[in-house]
Structure 1
């Protein structure tokens, strides 16, 4: 029964994220940790706006499929590596919004390795943040098709960030998470909006 409930919740979260324009075509992938240590994750190549529980499968913490006849995303290791490194992480959501993709490319081209967010009231939607005037650093890494190498780079960057809540892959999108799926969904929505605010500030400053 646990898998069925999680699969339903992942499908609902995926449809919501797609409805916001944050998962065009078949982009994005979503997962949640199961009680036995395995991971429920979206099947590769599915339209996230039409997700159903049948589009969710199970993999182990090494990313190997435990559901027969189904294939998870090539980026599965980016999910499972987070679950291995952070026992408190219960769900991971990956979006491909226009603003995250474009701003991440812009920042990397200028030699920046993180997006620093401060003085936004919405920061308080993130776990552990109680005031608008602190700083939240969202690490930025270059894209790669080598998932082993990319996951190692990501984890190295996250280790030096207090209370990491997400990261950006340049030209690719946002990974964010939470202790539960509702918390991951809230963090993802908040970060998508905060990235959009940061991009708007850059655009306005250049007028």
Structure 2
């Protein structure tokens, strides 16, 4: 059941063009101690159960699978599960809109307001509020990045997702259905914000 949820999400995300080549990684929480994650180097539109690994919350595989290994970015997924018991699924994607906007953000946050689609994000009931997503500098040191996420979370728990500059989006939800909704809503908001910037309106 859990593997199929990831497979279905991967096919849908691939159809949107949000995760080209073999980029990105997806996961779902299995219990309080383990998660199921996509293996490194797999095209997300053609996943099978053999492309997934069970890992503990330190990102280490629970079984020795010689021909598969978790992505280094698995550590960010498991850190999110450790930070909040309410997170049940995480989707990391590489869309053009999220990547470009992450580079245009001039502060530690990307702020969006005035869009009806903000109501697709859990806890939002109006377009009038300003929502914001944390933006982190890109690095190949996932341990360092996970530490930065933890530090920011201690100051202010993050909602719905965060951006990595020049890299992409991490979106999450209480389960896979909500994670997919948040991803879709955020991508729509990113596309609107990017188009507004092209027009010089914001």
TM-score (norm. length: structure 2)? 0.94
Say if 1:127 and 1:97 are closer, same or farther in 2 by CA, change over 3 A: same
What is the aligned partner in structure 2 of residue 129 from structure 1?
A: 124
Answer whether contact 2:111 2:130 (CA < 8 A) is retained: yes
Displacement of 1:52 in angstroms is 1.7
Establish whether residue 116 from structure 1 lines up as the match of residue 111 from structure 2.
yes
Quick one: which of 137, 140, 144 aligns to 2:139?
144
**What secondary structure is seen at the aligned counterpart in 1 of 2:100?**
helix
TM-score (norm. length: structure 1)? 0.92
Establish whether residue 6 from structure 1 lines up as the match of residue 2 from structure 2.
yes
CA distance in 1, matches of 2:122, 2:156: 14
Answer whether contact 2:59 2:74 (CA < 8 A) is retained: yes
After TM superposition, list the pairs within 5 Å mapping 1:19-58 onto structure 2: 19-35=15-31, 37-58=33-54
CA RMSD of aligned residues (A): 1.5
Establish whether residue 167 from structure 1 lines up as the match of residue 162 from structure 2.
yes
CA distance in 1, matches of 2:85, 2:135: 23
Displacement of 1:193 in angstroms is 1.1
Answer whether contact 2:172 2:179 (CA < 8 A) is retained: yes
CA distance in 2, matches of 1:60, 1:120: 38
**What secondary structure is seen at the aligned counterpart in 1 of 2:21?**
coil
CA distance in 2, matches of 1:162, 1:133: 21
Answer whether contact 1:28 1:95 (CA < 8 A) is retained: yes
Answer whether contact 2:89 2:174 (CA < 8 A) is retained: yes
Displacement of 1:185 in angstroms is 0.7
Which segment is superposed worse, 54-63 or 66-75? 66-75
Establish whether residue 82 from structure 1 lines up as the match of residue 95 from structure 2.
no
Answer whether contact 1:139 1:158 (CA < 8 A) is retained: no
**Structure 2 portions without partners, runs of 5+:** none
